């Protein structure tokens, strides 16, 4: 039986992330990048597909874990009949190669420990060649990868698994370090675990000092911001949607996707989260990644890219992995990269708009890219698309897509007016009015009295909550009020919001899914705008309680089974938490004014 998704914590070095189970097993790690082949893939298979177990050999009576304050250093405390021991897990900031460190500390009694390290690159398929360099030092080589294993006690190996058995006494420490390096290079020199721990703690403590947020749920906001930092690929500034692939939206179902890439859709929300909390350098890095990714011919731009801006994200299935709790297929790559999703034009324009707050000028390259985008958008905005939820069925005229096309033109007009940039402003104003009229005429279904998922449909969609959040219509508009109330009535399960009604919507996939956490945060924001602050605070508090004991959120939550589902941890969920907390705290003003607030400034 697989561990529950919420039973995992993460550690990372801002280039990759490892998932650490409550039982002391690291079951997922892609090395050396977020999108590299996994060398620990037990999360989607069995221990034979790669994992690193470090835990008491005897029965554990109680387990408690926490992050060391203001860091991504994970401490797990095991109580047994023989005594108590803690394991400290972390990945130091990189200095040419990547390290993963595990330090065992004896607290009381005499605890027998078991360490089993099974390295399997190629998503759990390839067994390395292991050679002993010394009693406590081994090399594991497979293809382009070299893993150096350094133990604080004697190491043995057989059948592709490295083992150590030892007893830890009060006050003692035993450390293990694995290091990744290209196999054609010389093996990296061993590091000092103690020095690496101090360096890692100092890195996170220094980073957190930049946080200026002091409002509601400050601890939860800080933890979410640390997660977002951990999901940032430091060399480029790109932020992955999640560090995992194929964790299911429905146990046993086929809604299993690879999220180890960067979605343009995340742009505005991510910028707001970082800027509102004072992290200007992270916002600048994300903005710069965004401009590099979309540079080129507008008609060739995509809705997602690799962490360095790669465009070819070919999707294939890993046939040898059974999937999390037999949820197949396990996918690598994402075919949605080739889809038409009109909403991303609005998200990019809004992100640039946010980035320009307080700036005195706009670089011509940025303005030229935006002119090209609006020109191309004018040609395609009336086409059906796959929409925000990336359907794999027939394209539709999604209302949200049209709303975001309006946002793209609206934000371009505002910025070109403000900075006196050269552009066909009168023409754009007419286009903006045309899109707005079209959405109000066809996106609103008078027979049901609400905005609907797509033109001619009667189905609701949680993305309609963004209509007031992006300023398309005020929250007080009767059509908006009716839509929000209908979503509360028909798309809410035990207080949490579904993306859409699967019975009325054809998304080209079989099966079901749980409530979508980001949509629930959108509802929080809408309730604030309606003046229903008590309802908003109540829902926000419930969402905080969905987090696991380490403060982490997946993509979805099943209130029936009380389980988190989908890829984990999910950037969008943590972004929603940060922005809703800011809105509840009135730190920078309500979401409806996000185009007028001044959270920070970058010249974009």
Q: What is the pLDDT of residues 463-484, one digit of tens each?
A: 999 999 999 999 999 999 999 9
Query: In this predicted model, what pLDDT tens digit does every residue of 185-196 receive, in sequence order?
Result: 999 998 999 999
Q: Look up the CATH number of the domain holding residue 27.
A: 2.70.98.40
| Residue 267 DSSP one-character state | H
**DSSP labels, 4-27:** PGGGEEEEE-SS-EEEEETTSEEE
| Residue 326 DSSP one-character state | G
Band of pLDDT at residue 69, cut at 50, 70 and 90: very high
For the segment 343-354, the average pLDDT, to the nearest whole number, is 89
Query: In this predicted model, what pLDDT tens digit does every residue of 199-217 receive, in sequence order?
Result: 999 999 999 999 999 999 9
Query: In this predicted model, what pLDDT tens digit does every residue of 529-588 receive, in sequence order?
Result: 999 999 999 999 999 999 999 999 999 999 999 999 999 999 999 999 999 999 999 744
Pair (261, 159) in one structural domain: no
**Per-residue confidence (pLDDT) for residue 251, from 0 to 100:** 93
Rounded to whole angstroms, the Cα distance separating 518 from 423 reads: 35
168 found inside a domain: yes
For the segment 491-511, the average pLDDT, to the nearest whole number, is 79
Q: Phi/psi class of residue 124: alpha, beta or left (left: φ > 0; alpha: ψ in -120 to 50)?
A: left
Pair (223, 192) in one structural domain: no
Pair (253, 167) in one structural domain: no
For the segment 98-122, the average pLDDT, to the nearest whole number, is 97
- The domain of 342 spans 218-593
491 found inside a domain: yes
For the segment 490-497, the average pLDDT, to the nearest whole number, is 95
Pair (276, 196) in one structural domain: no
Asked if the peptide bond before residue 435 counts as cis, ω within 30 degrees of 0, the response is: no
Domain end: 175, 206, 237, which one?
206
What is the model's pTM?
0.94
602 found inside a domain: no
Pair (198, 275) in one structural domain: no
Pair (287, 191) in one structural domain: no
599 found inside a domain: no
For the segment 307-332, the average pLDDT, to the nearest whole number, is 95
For the segment 2-20, the average pLDDT, to the nearest whole number, is 96
**Residue 500 · residue 387 · CB < 8 Å:** no
601 found inside a domain: no
598 found inside a domain: no
Domain end: 181, 206, 231, which one?
206
For the segment 480-506, the average pLDDT, to the nearest whole number, is 90
Domain end: 174, 206, 238, which one?
206
Rounded to whole angstroms, the Cα distance separating 290 from 239 reads: 10
For the segment 482-499, the average pLDDT, to the nearest whole number, is 96
For the chain, what percent of residues have pLDDT higher than 70?
96
Question: What's the chain's average pLDDT?
Answer: 92
Q: Look up the CATH number of the domain holding residue 451.
A: 1.50.10.10
Whether the pLDDT of residue 493 is over 70: the answer is: yes
pLDDT higher at 291 or 136: 136
For the segment 350-371, the average pLDDT, to the nearest whole number, is 85
Pair (181, 269) in one structural domain: no
Query: In this predicted model, what pLDDT tens digit does every residue of 394-416 receive, in sequence order?
Result: 999 999 999 999 999 999 999 99
225 found inside a domain: yes
Band of pLDDT at residue 281, cut at 50, 70 and 90: confident
Domain count within the chain: 2
């Amino acid at each position: 039986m697989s561990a529950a998704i919420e039973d995992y914590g993460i550690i990372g070095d801002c280039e990759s992330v490892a998932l650490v189970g409550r039982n002391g097993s690291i079951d997922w790690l892609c090395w050396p990048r977020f999108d590299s082949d996994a060398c620990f893939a037990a999360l989607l298979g069995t221990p034979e597909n790669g994992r690193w177990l470090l835990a008491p050999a005897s029965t554990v009576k109680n387990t408690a874990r926490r992050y060391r304050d203001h860091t991504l250093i994970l401490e797990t405390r095991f109580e047994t009949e023989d005594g108590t021991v803690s394991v400290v897990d972390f990945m130091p900031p990189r200095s040419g190669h990547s390290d993963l460190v595990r330090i065992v500390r004896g607290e009381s009694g005499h605890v027998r420990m078991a360490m089993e390290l099974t390295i399997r690159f190629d998503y759990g398929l390839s067994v390395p060649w292991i050679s002993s360099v010394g009693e406590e030092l081994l090399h594991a080589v497979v293809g382009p990868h070299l893993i150096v294993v350094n133990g604080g006690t004697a190491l043995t190996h057989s059948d592709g698994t490295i083992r150590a058995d030892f007893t830890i006494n009060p006050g003692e420490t035993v450390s293990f370090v694995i290091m990744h390096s290209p196999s054609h290079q010389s093996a990296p020199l061993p590091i000092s675990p103690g020095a690496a721990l101090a360096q890692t703690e100092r890195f996170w403590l220094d980073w957190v000092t930049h946080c200026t947020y002091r409002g509601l749920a400050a601890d939860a906001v800080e933890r979410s911001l640390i997660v977002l930092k951990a999901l940032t690929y430091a060399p480029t500034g790109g932020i992955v949607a999640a560090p995992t692939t194929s964790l299911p939206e429905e146990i046993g179902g086929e809604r299993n996707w690879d999220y180890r890439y960067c979605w343009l859709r995340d742009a505005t929300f991510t910028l707001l989260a970082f800027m509102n909390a004072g992290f200007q350098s992270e916002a600048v890095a994300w903005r710069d990644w965004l401009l590099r990714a979309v540079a080129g011919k507008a008609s060739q731009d995509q809705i997602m890219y690799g962490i360095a801006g790669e465009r070819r994200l070919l999707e294939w299935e890993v046939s040898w992995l059974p999937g999390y709790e037999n949820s197949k297929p396990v996918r690598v790559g994402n075919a949605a990269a080739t889809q038409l999703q009109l909403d991303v034009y609005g998200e990019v324009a809004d992100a640039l708009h946010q980035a320009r707050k307080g700036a005195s000028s706009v670089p011509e390259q940025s303005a030229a890219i935006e002119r090209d985008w609006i020109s191309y958008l004018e040609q395609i905005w009336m086409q059906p698309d796959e929409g925000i939820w990336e359907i794999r069925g027939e394209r539709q005229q999604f209302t949200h897509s049209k709303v975001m096309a309006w946002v793209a033109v609206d934000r371009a007009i505002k910025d070109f007016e403000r900075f006196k940039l050269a552009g066909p402003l009168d023409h754009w104003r007419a286009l903006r009015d045309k899109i707005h009229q079209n959405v109000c005429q066809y996106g609103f279904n008078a027979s049901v009295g609400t905005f609907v998922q797509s033109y001619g449909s009667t189905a609701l969609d949680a993305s309609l909550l963004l209509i007031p959040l992006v300023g398309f219509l005020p929250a007080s508009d009767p059509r908006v009020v009716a839509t929000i109330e209908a979503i509360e009535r028909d798309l809410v399960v035990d207080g949490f919001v579904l993306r859409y009604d699967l019975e009325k919507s054809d998304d080209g996939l079989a099966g079901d899914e749980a409530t979508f956490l980001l949509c629930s945060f959108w509802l929080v924001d809408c309730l604030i705008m309606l003046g229903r602050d008590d309802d908003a605070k109540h829902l926000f508090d419930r969402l905080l309680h969905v987090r696991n004991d380490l403060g982490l959120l997946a993509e979805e939550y099943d209130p029936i089974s009380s389980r988190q589902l989908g890829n984990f941890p999910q950037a969008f969920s943590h972004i929603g938490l940060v922005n809703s907390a800011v809105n509840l705290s009135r730190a920078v003003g309500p979401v409806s004014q996000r185009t007028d607030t001044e959270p920070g400034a970058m010249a974009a």
